[in-house]
Amino acid sequence: MDIKPEKTEVTATTSAIEPAMREQFARTVENMMARDERVALLLAEISVSLFKRALRDFPERVVNVGIMEQTLVSAAAGFALEGFIPVLHSIAPFLVERPFEQIKDDFCYQNLPGNFVSNGASYDYSEEGMTHHGFADVPVLRSLPGMRIVVPGAPAELDTLFRAVYGDGGRTYFRTSVKRNREERPVRFGALDVVREGSRAAVVAVGPMLDATLAAAGDLDVSVLYCTTVAPFDGETLRAHATAGKVALVEPYEAGALVPDVVAALAPRPARVEAIGVPRAVLSRYGTPEQHDEALGLTPSGIRARITRLLDE
């Protein structure tokens, strides 16, 4: 991959603090299975080794269907019809794009509860190519009525948000990734977290993009709002901090998924939105996730340039 890292004096802090999000997901679900006999886990071969304890202790509530993602979703709907709370897991494009029709018909059409937990987004499996890239998952699922979307930025946040809504009868997509913020924040489902306040614009950082966004914002006079619940979106908090009518969205998935929510939140006032994220394009060059971030301008310096452009307009 012939991508040269850009030189910048603006840097974000990252850390490989354990557990990673996927490992935290396994711990959380196994704990919930011990506490709540309604929880059932359905796998499609991915991450099976992480659930040895669940397979041992709750064999009647753990099903590995193999590499059959449509079957995964339809079998989970059957569990839901029998009164269970299904938790489904696979890589983002396998869980969202391959069985999209089953999610729509088996879960949404029948108004069934379910928890869809992915890993690998957006390009954690960067060298596997387009079949394993998962940056279209959020915009795809936002098209489904009633689908809630959670994008945590740290393992403890995943645990908090999962426990808050897993059994309330809704359908929720939990998006995990290797990329994470160094520090966990006291997140609440459905609420933006006001990290800092400013007057010239509001910058919404989604999930694992917070560290890079804070590094990018630096001394700029902007509010930084941390978003871990993409849907439903907290328009009220955004409206209170976007009085200048300028909003920058820093999203770890396909850029612009939240633009309709931002425009609706600020209406009838005009809004200027800078959508920073993964472009709607085929990533045909191969390399590490960090190299993709560099190439796509999702580094602190790249994000800062976009925010500065918004402020100068």
CB 236 within 8 A of CB 261: no
Instruction: Report the interhelical angle of 300-312 vs 210-217 (nearest 10°).
Output: 50
Give the CA-trace dihedral at 155, 160, 161, 162, to 10 degrees: 90
Q: Which domains does the chain have, with CATH numbers?
A: 21-175 (3.40.50.970), 193-312 (3.40.50.920)
pLDDT of residue 48: 93
* Amino acid occupying residue 70: Q
Residue 118 token pair? 């992915």
CB 48 within 8 A of CB 26: no
Low-confidence ranges of the chain (pLDDT < 70): 1-18
DSSP character string of 223-284: EEEEESEEES--HHHHHHH-TTSEEEEEEEEETTTTHHHHHHHHTTS--EEEEEEE-SS---
3-state secondary structure of 206: strand
